[in-house]
Amino acid sequence: MSTTPSGAGDRLVQVGAIVFFVGALATLVTVAPLFLGTDPFPPVAYGVCMLMGVGFLIAGVGVVRSVWVNSPKRAANS
């Protein structure tokens, strides 16, 4: 159990990681029929794969927000 307080962007990083892994799982499921020789999924399934990039972007925003809030220059002005 951690006693350190949550950072400003921690929740965004967690949500981004979850969205990223959902997109990664969708990518694996979507690519599988290509290797198995079955019919490919409809184009909507490929759109779900884009969640991988969206999750990466959300997590990146969380990291930038944490760095922005915790920067020494901003802490000195407070």
Position 40 scores a pLDDT of 87
Question: Which two tokens mark 70?
Answer: 């915790």
Q: Which two tokens stand for residue 76?
A: 């000195």
What whole-number distance in Å separates Cα of residue 17 and Cα of residue 6?
16
pLDDT at 62: 94
Considering the chain, what percentage of its residues have pLDDT values greater than 70?
87
Give, in order, the Cα–Cα distances in Å from 34 to each of 27, 28, 46, 50. 12, 10, 13, 18
The alpha-helical segments, DSSP class H, found in the chain are 10-36, 43-48, 51-69, 72-77
Decide: 74 and 68 in contact? Cβ < 8 Å.
yes
Task: Give the tens place of pLDDT for each residue, 16-36.
Answer: 999 999 999 999 999 999 899
Query: Can you give the pTM of this predicted structure?
Result: 0.79
Q: Is the model more confident about 70 or about 75?
A: 70
